[in-house]
Structure 1
Amino acid sequence: MMMISNSTKLVCLKGAALQQPNRSMATLKQIQMRLKSVTNIQKITQSMKMVSAAKYARAERELRQARPYGDGVKAFFEKSGAAEAPADNNNGKVIVAITSDRGLCGAVHTNVSKAIRNELSTELPDTVQTQVFCVGDKSRALLQRLYSKNIAVVANEVGRKPPTFLDASKVANELVQLNFGSGKIVYNKFKSVVSYKTEEVPLLSAKTMLAAPKLQSYDSIDEGVIESYQEFTIASLIYYAMKQSACSEQSSRMTAMDNASKNAGEMISKLTLTFNRTRQAVITRELIEIISGAAALE
């Protein structure tokens, strides 16, 4: 026995046929709305590709001017023996993650965060925790869930404008205040328009640089000069890494937006074909109904 509550109202209309919803018209409207949405997305991705192409051309041009900063410091570390000097592990270790605040550029920021995450996962609980200096909000967002205690400093507003040596100097000033014993910079090195590689460059403390075996052959250098030169080398390396990362980011974003535009174009073609077939089916069915009704009246 079927029970009906008192609040339920039943309305019966004699001679009224039950109207079935026109599913074809609803489908056509849904396809048309989705087609319009994908078309708008394609326009946005094409515009972002053009903007990224212009920014990439500028970033690559500025990268040529910034390469001597990093290459010179690396050559000095190798020839002076500072890279082979024993690290000062008493003051802990620091890792600088070079990313930006902006996304939609593939796995550029993810690769940097993954490399740092893999290294932090191998640390023993009894040892001094490695400090992470996040340049850009993307690295902070990717690391804070598991390693929020390791994040010491976060530099925001990175990536909106091309990085300058002044920006690198500000980061270097905050980095020197951490008083680290050893460290490194993790960044994406630009190789070509469609290729980049996540690399590391060491950061040396003043004590480590002073212990370099061949450093005294250049000149009689005291601790004050070493501290000043340490600040300059850190700023130069950070500037070099930021330029490399910015160029890799723009090239990756340009490639990602190009792929997104192509995928949107394929979706537009498929949706247009589906829309035309559905509309033709609706027209054919309506013609059949009209002809069948006319034939019934004869």
Structure 2
Amino acid sequence: QVRNMATLKDITRRLKSIKNIQKITKSMKMVSAAKYARAERDLKPARIYGTGALALYEKAEIKAPEDKKRHLLIGVSSDRGLCGAIHTSVAKTLKNEITNLSNAGKEVMVVGVGDKIRGLLQRTHGNYFLLTFKEVGRRPPSFGDASIIASELLNSGYEFDEGSVIYNRFRSIISYKTDEKPIFSFETVAGSESLSIYDDIDADVLRNYQEFTLANILYYSLKESTTSEQSARMTAMDNASKNASEMIDKLTLTLNRTRQAVITKELIEIISGAAA
């Protein structure tokens, strides 16, 4: 009987704990739903920045010559977790890109946007980091945030030839896809043979355009990643709440059965004592 009473206390304690956790996950789901609604609303105009910024690159068919070795990878995540495998997906793509580019003889450097990507890569690929940025994801990203990242990168002294921005592209409330956008240095853009169709572009204008394009692509990637993250967190918290409900039901059933067993045993002891 002592063992059953101890079991009852353990089950009651665990049941209370899970109910408290469920309250937290439900609250987090509601907060994420509100943030997701805003992020999705902001995403549509932000996508214009991403597509418009690359118009010149695509029309001029700009690409770095094969003999150019320096490749920059920018991984976009945030500082916050509890959103499924959304950060792991970016980290996995970065690791694969680092391996493939290194095997091809390229010099690879990484810029980590968000503390999560730094944490996921620090142990195995920490020597590839050029810059890392924190305080990402605590509030909706702005073009000013993207401009700061672009400015620090351009002022870092590292001269890359081409690169990629790796981020999570929002597809629907239940799905996202890890994608990438190309970026090029001013020298690569200016030295492109196909750029002759824009022969009246001044060098200063082209440099400003290249810098502005980098900020645009970063802004677009941050917006896509934020929307993907909020939808993933909302889904994760919804699943966690459902799992908590299932555990509560099972524990409640176990609690009732254990309590019934204790009562039955006590009744048997009382009846046996009375009969004696």
TM-score, normalisation: structure 1: 0.88
Give the alignment partner of residue 200 of structure 1, picking from 152, 171, 180: 180
| Distance (Å, rounded) in 1 between the aligned partners of 2:66 and 2:213 | 17
Indicate yes or no: 2:264 matched with 1:284.
yes
| Distance (Å, rounded) in 2 between the aligned partners of 1:194 and 1:55 | 15
| Distance (Å, rounded) in 2 between the aligned partners of 1:222 and 1:93 | 26
Quickly say closer, same or farther: Cα 1:112–1:213, change in 2 above 3 A. Answer: same
| Distance (Å, rounded) in 2 between the aligned partners of 1:265 and 1:88 | 59
Give the alignment partner of residue 122 of structure 1, picking from 91, 100, 111: 100
| Distance (Å, rounded) in 1 between the aligned partners of 2:240 and 2:105 | 45
Quickly say closer, same or farther: Cα 1:181–1:147, change in 2 above 3 A. Answer: same
| Distance (Å, rounded) in 2 between the aligned partners of 1:245 and 1:271 | 38
Give the alignment partner of residue 95 of structure 1, picking from 37, 60, 73: 73
Quickly say closer, same or farther: Cα 1:165–1:124, change in 2 above 3 A. Answer: closer
Q: Which amino acid is 2:94 matched to? A: I
Instruction: Give 1:58's aligned residue.
Output: 38
Query: Which has more radius of gyration?
Result: 1
| Partner SS, residue 54 of structure 2 | helix
Give the alignment partner of residue 250 of structure 1, picking from 224, 227, 230: 230
Per-residue deviation at 1:182? Answer: 1.0
Runs of 4+ that moved beyond 4 A: 123-128
Alpha-carbon contact 1:87-1:181 (below 8 Å) kept: no
Per-residue deviation at 1:198? Answer: 0.4
Alpha-carbon contact 2:64-2:161 (below 8 Å) kept: no
Where in structure 2 are the equivalents of 1:209-248 lying within 5 Å? 209-218=189-198, 220-248=200-228
| Partner SS, residue 159 of structure 2 | coil
Per-residue deviation at 1:212? Answer: 3.3
Quickly say closer, same or farther: Cα 1:139–1:163, change in 2 above 3 A. Answer: same
Where in structure 2 are the equivalents of 1:40-51 lying within 5 Å? 40-51=20-31
Alpha-carbon contact 1:85-1:213 (below 8 Å) kept: no
Per-residue deviation at 1:119? Answer: 1.9
- CA deviations over 1:42-86 (Å, ceiling 9, x no partner): 00000000000000000000001101100112232211222x453
Percent of paired sites with the same residue: 57
User: By percentage of residues, which structure has more helix?
Assistant: 2
Aligned alpha-carbon RMSD (Å): 1.7
Quickly say closer, same or farther: Cα 1:225–1:88, change in 2 above 3 A. Answer: farther
Alpha-carbon contact 1:87-1:208 (below 8 Å) kept: no
| Partner SS, residue 130 of structure 1 | strand
Task: Say how many residue pairs are matched.
Answer: 274
- Where in structure 2 are there 5+ consecutive unaligned residues? none
Moved more, 181-190 or 221-230: 221-230
Quickly say closer, same or farther: Cα 1:64–1:124, change in 2 above 3 A. Answer: closer
Q: Which amino acid is 1:187 matched to? A: Y
Instruction: Give 1:152's aligned residue.
Output: 130
Instruction: Give 2:164's aligned residue.
Output: 184
| Distance (Å, rounded) in 1 between the aligned partners of 2:234 and 2:66 | 40
Indicate yes or no: 2:54 matched with 1:74.
yes
| Partner SS, residue 122 of structure 1 | helix
Q: Which amino acid is 2:128 matched to? A: N
| Distance (Å, rounded) in 2 between the aligned partners of 1:163 and 1:124 | 32
Alpha-carbon contact 1:95-1:183 (below 8 Å) kept: yes
Quickly say closer, same or farther: Cα 1:56–1:88, change in 2 above 3 A. Answer: farther
